[in-house]
Amino acid sequence: MLIAEWEEDGRTGLVCLVCGRKAADLGSGVGICPECLLVHWEESRHHLKAIHADSREAFRLPLKPPSTPDGMLCNLCLHQCRMGPGEYGYCGIRRGTQGSLRHDGRSRAGVCYYYDPLPTNCVADWVCPGGTGAGYPVYAHERGPEVGFYNLAVSFEACNFNCLFCQNWSFKKTNRSNREWQSIESLTNAVTPKTSCICYFGGDPTPQIAYAVRVSKRARAENPDQILRICWETNGSVHRAWLKQMVRLSLESGGCIKVDLKAWHPQIHKALCGCDNRQVLENFAALAKYITRRPDPPLLIASTLLVPGYVGEAEVRHIASFIAACNPDIPYTLLAFAPQFCMEDFPTTSFEQVEACMEVAKQAGLKRVHLGNHHLVGARS
């Protein structure tokens, strides 16, 4: 998609595809100013459809969730894909056959893993047992950081969102026709006596949630006397039935569920992620009801990536107010933006934006607000 550029008085930028405004904070990966996303949504949708299609076509991913009449239904997430025999679901994991629905993302998964020394740079490291010793001695080996132990970091090579700013987008390069599947046994066998937590991320665990749940149950059953926390980093769009299983595993093991609340307004969310956020917010509110069952270590952690020009003070104020209404004790991590994927011509998050967003989150009533990646914050202007 062709987006016009401009240069004036030493300043440069792009022209919004909808209103034609010269915007210094506009990147080519979106092409539409945030004001138009909110005020001129119907006019914006056509351009966004093309932008998201271009970002997926390069990796031979379906341009939209399939809806073939009488196709095989996958109901793991908000998309509810109905796939014909030759069609893949939106995430690129399952096809419209009984065999694929039975095995792909269930008894086998597109996944890679590694051992991450604790304490790590996890979104929850400032409140979790591995980083702080919270829940010692039931859920943690030490009263402080678990030095000498490891997180089995499990990265799923699929996602049901299409975030234009994806920080781990390289998983999209995986060749679907020649994918190296991992069995349940291969991952459970990776648990060692020094493994104190398993964290599922990606991509996202959602498209292969059945596999993750089965691995977690088997790993805990095979290591009954070992601290083995089950944690998740997710976009929060999984079907409610699977959400309950995630909660049960994390509650019992001392793990946590880290939900990335990417935006508040559905238009901003659709523009950046390719889908709306209604189910995400509903699931988050449902998760918050379990918090009192195990206050320490916290079950639920929220995070938001501060995308320059799109996710700033206004979005954070709404998100933080929503979190506080669920429970003001929920830890909230703000993350600085690094240019990636389709938004590689965007700037990093500024120091001023971080300060402002931290302040509005606290003003909204949240008691625990944290900046997760200081090293990415741009210099003070």
Query: What is the domain partition of the chain in residue ranges?
Result: 5-57, 108-376
Alpha carbon distance 285, 46 (integer Å) = 32
Mean pLDDT within 235-241: 97
Q: What are the pLDDT digits (tens) for 321-351?
A: 999 999 999 999 999 999 999 998 888 899 9
Residue 375 binned pLDDT confidence (cut-offs 50, 70, 90):
confident
Q: What are the pLDDT digits (tens) for 51-94?
A: 999 999 999 999 999 999 999 999 999 999 999 988 999 999 99
List of residues 6+ apart from 136 with CB closer than 8 A: 129, 142, 143
Q: In this model, does residue 3 exceed pLDDT 70? A: no
Mean pLDDT within 295-303: 97
Closest by CA to 268, choosing from 108, 72, 35, 83, is 35
**φ, ψ at 370 (rounded to 5°):** -145, 145
Mean pLDDT within 90-109: 95
Q: In this model, does residue 6 exceed pLDDT 70? A: no
Alpha carbon distance 109, 104 (integer Å) = 6
| pLDDT for residue 27 | 72
User: What DSSP string describes 82-101?
Assistant: EE-TTPBPTTSS-BSSHHHH
Give, in degrees to the nearest 5, the angle at Cα 370 between 154 and 317: 110
Q: What is the pTM of this model?
A: 0.94
Alpha carbon distance 195, 100 (integer Å) = 31
Can you identify the CATH homologous superfamily of domain 108-376?
Aldolase class I (3.20.20.70)
| pLDDT for residue 12 | 64
| The two structure tokens encoding residue 116 | 């991450």
State which H helix or E strand residue 234 sits in.
Answer: strand 229-234
